[in-house]
Chains A and B, each alone.
Chain A
Amino acid sequence: MIDKQTKYDRQLRLWANTGQDNLERCHLCMINADATASETLKNLVLPGLGKFTIVDAGTVCPGDLSGNFFLTEADLGKNRAEALTRNLLELNPDVEGKWVAEQSIDSLDAQFWDQFDMVIISNYVKGYDELVQLLWRQDIPLLVATTMGYYGSLHVIRSETTVVETHHPSQRFQLFLDKPWPELQQFVDSFDLETLDETDHAQVPYIVIYIKLLAQLRASNSPIPKTYQQKQHFKTLIESLSRDISQETNFIEASSSLFRTVLETEIPPSVVEIMKIASKLDLTQTSLFWIYVKALENFASKNEGLLPLPGTLPDMASNTANYVQLQKIYHQKAIKDREAFAKEVQILSASLGREEADDLNLDLISSFCKNSNLLYVSKGSYKQVSEQIVKDCLVPGKYNISAVYLSLLNTRYYFNIFGSLPSIKDLESFTQLAFDVIFKPYMSSISDIPESVILTFTDVLSHNTNSYHNLASFIGGITAQEVLKIATAQYIPLDNVFVFDGIVSTSQKWKIE
């Protein structure tokens, strides 16, 4: 038996055991067993995805081996989904895998899809539009990965995305410096900067320095420093308190850390927006996230409009005793806020008649309080094209990456009608189709597709392989990253279309509303 902590060490440092538990509960469906599907699944089986099911009715033929590392000569003649499942399972005994040899996905009913937490379509499938609608109605996230020649795209179709543990790269700290609570104020007051000896003066944590200075500003009716000028002025105030600004590390740090620590404590506009959404919802019909958001609003209204204190403290020059004491004060306040928040959840949950055991789960509550100022929400769409993308495509010029996305999309339309991939011989009918179903509906005044777009069409149709391994592996990597983010419920997923151009190695993304 291999110790999971050792085997998964390098990824647990990204999403911890909570993320890993979520990943191990996830059941994923992969439609088609081609190169992009193999690469996507490889990247998910290795980190220990719970379970996958591959749907493909095809038989492994010599052509399938060319760009697919997880199909072998011994698999020739067998069902593709079966062969791929077996070869992938060999990578990690913790993962469960199944396969379904279904000719047409139309014959799979709602009950079949209901077992999945996520569905991926690798490249093209008949009955695409119907499946998109069905999964949208059942609220199952769908990822559509496409590769063609040197190009690839990923589309995430999901009605709603909510993330608590966003791992936001912002280095800002919520320290409530302008709203010190009694215990913190008492600690600050215990320092008399003028009477401290040289050693102690150079060990005063910068939080104390800030709070003292902010109190001075308040006394003179000056605002908390916000503009660059105000911050520069605050800097001079810090330096004037120091006995020697070239020597006292704590004052040097106070001066350099000011921009990421001295902030007005308020509810960030993004969270205010999220609260507005919550107030319009019927909370008896929502996920726990929205119950928490509503409880957060109730908490704030009883706490001078403040969110719960996250309680994490940056390291700062100080002796051990002062720092540890300060850490305790922040930690205790964070616990107090968390308990008050939990109380709001309990009241709300009871008033809604919810009987969900998870509502008061301590880990969930703690994580929500810690991240309450960084929450992320996004509404999705099942549409495949937007006016913006079409407009981008019509900007005069030699080349535009939006034309790559429209080429891949048009390939899907072409496949739906003709049942096969277009080649360069089909350029005329391909272009006509794009004109009719993509350009005309958005730009009724258009008479011709620009030459630059035809050039991209030409490239796509000339290089009509969707198993060029480098692109399959690239898009497989991108798709797996998005699955990991959605499955672990951590980090911010793609919202919602991404395109990669492997000729010039650039990418672009759009949000289709």
Chain B
Amino acid sequence: MPDSQKIIEIEVLRYNPESDKEPHLEVYKVPFSDDMSVLQGAQYIKDHFDGSLTFRWSCRMAICGSCGMMINGIPKLSCETFLRDYYPNRIRIEAMANFPIEKDLVVDLSGFIEKLESIQPYIIPREPRSLDQGEYIQSPEQFNAYIQFTSCINCTLCYAACPQFGLNPDFIGPAAIALLHRYNMDSRDGAAAERMELVAAEEGVFNCSAVGYCSEVCPKHVDPANAVNINKTNAAKDYFLRFLSPKGGSK
């Protein structure tokens, strides 16, 4: 190791469900270069200090959405956050807030997966369509109505950011509602009324108090807060207009 080698202190929230009653912090002194991400810092700790350190990662380039964690208290993807931006201060990495910790930096996402399934995240056609009717034609305008909301990588940083999800884990939450909105806005889809039952439910959009932090931390600029708030208006319309609608709105 050359003398000029820079060393940063990384404080890691450790938790081993087999031996620990509660999570605790441990500090590691990690030599780093300017091109090293926080994820690479964690990998260095695993390779050189403690092979039991557990965290999720895959692509290393902000596409897979696996490596989210709290970095100095802010939900971020660790692969696109660089150690040089924190040096010479100590950096603290913890499991994503608002989720139960499985081990070290790995959280239990099963609740989120259930929510993703519950919004019916697939195109439900307006009417049956046969192959000889050909492909769907979509104008650029129709495409632009939903494309932004397709960019979600399910990193769940928005859930770690959302104070309302922290207080009520039943809240469907930002990413799932953004994806719900993506399918509702797709001209090929006809299931917005079906999904309204969930949007308007007690688990739905009205848990949101428009803090907007979800959109701030989103690494893909999906703007889930916008999707949630558009659906508040939709749900309010559905609430008051259901008596006038021939179909009676959702239940």
Q: Do A and B come from one complex?
A: no
Question: Which residues of chain A have a CB within 8 Å of any CB of chain B?
Answer: none
Question: Which residues of chain B have a CB within 8 Å of any CB of chain A?
Answer: none
